[in-house]
Amino acid sequence: MDDYQYDCPSADIDMLAHVICDLFPEQTQFAERRDDEGRTSLVIHYVAMRFGSSARRITIDVRFDPAALARYRALPPRMHARSYAVLRAYVEATLGSLEEMYADGQTVPREVQIEMGEDFA
Protein backbone atom coordinates (compact mmCIF):
# COMPACT_ATOMS: atom_id res chain seq x y z
CA MET A 1 0.00 0.00 0.00
CA ASP A 2 1.23 3.46 -0.91
CA ASP A 3 1.22 5.84 2.06
CA TYR A 4 1.20 8.90 -0.21
CA GLN A 5 -1.71 10.52 -2.02
CA TYR A 6 -1.44 11.36 -5.70
CA ASP A 7 -3.85 13.60 -7.61
CA CYS A 8 -1.95 13.88 -10.88
CA PRO A 9 -4.03 13.24 -14.01
CA SER A 10 -0.96 13.39 -16.29
CA ALA A 11 1.09 10.19 -16.18
CA ASP A 12 4.37 12.10 -16.48
CA ILE A 13 3.59 14.47 -13.59
CA ASP A 14 2.45 11.47 -11.52
CA MET A 15 5.80 9.83 -12.26
CA LEU A 16 7.66 12.97 -11.16
CA ALA A 17 5.73 12.85 -7.86
CA HIS A 18 6.76 9.22 -7.38
CA VAL A 19 10.42 10.10 -8.08
CA ILE A 20 10.54 12.47 -5.07
CA CYS A 21 7.95 10.96 -2.71
CA ASP A 22 10.56 9.26 -0.51
CA LEU A 23 11.88 12.71 0.47
CA PHE A 24 8.63 13.37 2.34
CA PRO A 25 6.80 11.81 5.30
CA GLU A 26 3.89 9.44 4.82
CA GLN A 27 0.51 11.06 4.15
CA THR A 28 2.09 13.66 1.86
CA GLN A 29 -0.22 14.78 -0.93
CA PHE A 30 1.01 15.40 -4.48
CA ALA A 31 -1.30 17.30 -6.83
CA GLU A 32 -0.97 18.47 -10.40
CA ARG A 33 -2.22 22.01 -10.94
CA ARG A 34 -2.41 24.49 -13.83
CA ASP A 35 -2.40 28.23 -13.23
CA ASP A 36 -4.26 30.89 -15.22
CA GLU A 37 -1.41 31.09 -17.74
CA GLY A 38 -1.53 27.33 -18.29
CA ARG A 39 1.70 26.60 -16.41
CA THR A 40 1.81 23.15 -14.87
CA SER A 41 2.83 22.71 -11.24
CA LEU A 42 3.37 19.76 -8.96
CA VAL A 43 2.04 20.93 -5.60
CA ILE A 44 3.30 19.06 -2.55
CA HIS A 45 1.36 19.32 0.73
CA TYR A 46 3.06 17.76 3.73
CA VAL A 47 3.27 17.96 7.49
CA ALA A 48 6.75 18.75 8.77
CA MET A 49 7.41 17.41 12.24
CA ARG A 50 10.96 18.67 12.60
CA PHE A 51 10.31 22.43 12.62
CA GLY A 52 9.39 22.95 16.24
CA SER A 53 7.25 21.37 18.90
CA SER A 54 4.11 21.15 16.77
CA ALA A 55 3.46 19.80 13.31
CA ARG A 56 3.62 22.38 10.55
CA ARG A 57 1.78 22.16 7.24
CA ILE A 58 3.99 23.17 4.35
CA THR A 59 3.18 23.52 0.67
CA ILE A 60 5.88 23.33 -1.99
CA ASP A 61 4.79 24.48 -5.45
CA VAL A 62 7.13 23.03 -8.09
CA ARG A 63 6.45 25.17 -11.18
CA PHE A 64 7.59 23.91 -14.55
CA ASP A 65 8.68 26.28 -17.28
CA PRO A 66 6.31 25.44 -20.19
CA ALA A 67 9.13 25.10 -22.75
CA ALA A 68 11.19 22.86 -20.44
CA LEU A 69 8.16 20.71 -19.66
CA ALA A 70 7.40 20.39 -23.39
CA ARG A 71 11.00 19.28 -24.04
CA TYR A 72 10.76 16.77 -21.18
CA ARG A 73 7.51 15.39 -22.56
CA ALA A 74 9.07 15.06 -26.03
CA LEU A 75 11.94 12.92 -24.71
CA PRO A 76 11.63 9.14 -24.79
CA PRO A 77 11.09 7.75 -21.25
CA ARG A 78 14.60 6.24 -21.20
CA MET A 79 15.94 9.82 -21.36
CA HIS A 80 14.03 11.07 -18.29
CA ALA A 81 16.64 10.10 -15.67
CA ARG A 82 18.48 13.44 -15.91
CA SER A 83 15.23 15.39 -15.38
CA TYR A 84 14.40 13.17 -12.41
CA ALA A 85 17.83 13.90 -10.92
CA VAL A 86 17.44 17.66 -11.45
CA LEU A 87 13.99 17.68 -9.85
CA ARG A 88 15.22 15.62 -6.93
CA ALA A 89 18.24 17.91 -6.41
CA TYR A 90 16.05 21.04 -6.38
CA VAL A 91 13.60 19.52 -3.90
CA GLU A 92 16.39 18.23 -1.65
CA ALA A 93 18.06 21.67 -1.70
CA THR A 94 14.77 23.35 -0.80
CA LEU A 95 14.15 20.98 2.10
CA GLY A 96 17.73 21.56 3.26
CA SER A 97 17.29 25.33 3.18
CA LEU A 98 14.09 25.03 5.23
CA GLU A 99 16.00 23.00 7.81
CA GLU A 100 18.79 25.61 7.85
CA MET A 101 16.25 28.40 8.37
CA TYR A 102 14.78 26.52 11.33
CA ALA A 103 18.23 25.80 12.77
CA ASP A 104 19.07 29.52 12.50
CA GLY A 105 15.94 30.42 14.46
CA GLN A 106 14.13 31.87 11.45
CA THR A 107 10.45 31.29 10.78
CA VAL A 108 9.98 28.51 8.25
CA PRO A 109 7.54 29.62 5.53
CA ARG A 110 4.36 27.64 5.03
CA GLU A 111 4.54 28.07 1.25
CA VAL A 112 7.60 27.67 -0.94
CA GLN A 113 8.00 27.80 -4.71
CA ILE A 114 10.56 25.99 -6.83
CA GLU A 115 11.00 27.15 -10.42
CA MET A 116 12.00 24.30 -12.73
CA GLY A 117 13.54 26.01 -15.76
CA GLU A 118 15.95 25.23 -18.56
CA ASP A 119 18.06 22.78 -16.58
CA PHE A 120 15.03 20.51 -16.01
CA ALA A 121 14.98 19.35 -19.64
pLDDT score for 14:
97
Handedness of CA 46, 47, 50, 56 (dihedral sign): positive
pLDDT score for 1:
53
Helix, strand, coil content of the chain in percent (nearest 5): 40, 25, 30
- Give the whole-number percent of the chain exceeding pLDDT 70: 98
The model's pLDDT over 22-32, given as tens digits with 9 standing for 90+, comes to 999 999 999 99
Alpha carbon distance 64, 107 (integer Å) = 27
pLDDT score for 75:
94
Residues of the chain short of pLDDT 70, as ranges, are: 1-2
